[in-house]
Amino acid sequence: MRAAVVTGASDGIGAACAQALLAAGWQVALLARRQAALEAVAGGHPQALTVVCDVTDPAAVEAAFDAVVARFGRVDFLFNNAGIFTPAGLIDEIDLADWTQSVAVNMTGMFLCARAAFARMRRQTPQGGRILMNGSIAAQSPRWGSVCYTATKHAVTGLTKQLSLDGRPFSIAVGQIDIGNARTGLLQAHLDRMKALDPDAPETPVIEVSTVAETVVHLAGLPLGANAQWMTLMATTMPLIGRG
């Protein structure tokens, strides 16, 4: 049975993907900082492993992946998903603590988890595995006031490229999914607030989080000889194309 690791698995996209992988027959390690939330997502599934892990802590990440191998024997798939979005503003309005936190989670956290997965995939038998990076639409095109998120997500694309190249000799396939607005609880609350402020504002195009989860499960199941290097998954009417 194949083993997957999902970071940021306590809610939103991470939670939906972890549950979908379990439903598809994977063994799944759910990583996040809140044990109670992780247990709620796992729902007592016999093939689920919940691991409290701060992805910015190198020792915690290594311990988490050690726990995964101890339980499942190997790591076949990492959905490198954990990320944060700090308060919006122009660059001279950004609190330096928000920049530092964004870099710690969205860049260093991604690096540490990819590093841990890569190390185990390289050395396990049979060798190899797949790493899927959650880049976000912001890895391609910024939105106003999002300098921290945009810069760190562009950095994720560079990390994806490098790992994709470096993983080839070890049958490690590395790709990136850039997801548009998905109807998570957090996004829906934001949309509701915006609608209350301006009832006549046009509807924001969104996709259901279940669509994201189905896509991640499909990508996870590709044979290692095939790689979806880049995927953009968004609402058909999202205005990514045709701006300007």
**From the CB of residue 124, how many other CB atoms can be counted at a distance below 10 Å?**
16
Q: Give the C-alpha separation, 99 to 158, whole Å.
A: 19
Helices (runs of H) and strands (runs of E) counted in the chain: 8, 7
The number of C-alpha atoms within 13 Å of 126 and in the hemisphere containing its C-beta is 7
- Judge contact between 237 and 179, C-beta under 8 A: no
The answer, yes or no, to whether residue 76 has pLDDT greater than 50, is: yes
Query: Which pLDDT value is given to residue 32?
Result: 97
E-assigned strands of the chain? 3-7, 27-32, 48-52, 77-80, 129-134, 172-179, 230-233
Structure confidence by residue, pLDDT tens digits, 157-172: 999 999 999 999 999 9
pTM of the model: 0.93
Q: Give the C-alpha separation, 39 to 47, whole Å.
A: 12
Domains of the chain, first to last = 3-233 (3.40.50.720)
Query: Which pLDDT value is given to residue 190?
Result: 65
**3-class DSSP assignment, residue 136:** coil
pLDDT band at 244 (very low <50, low <70, confident <90, very high): very low
Q: Which residue of the set 26, 65, 118, 149 is catalytic?
A: 149
Residue range 189-195: average pLDDT?
70
126 catalytic, yes or no? no
Query: Which pLDDT value is given to residue 194?
Result: 66
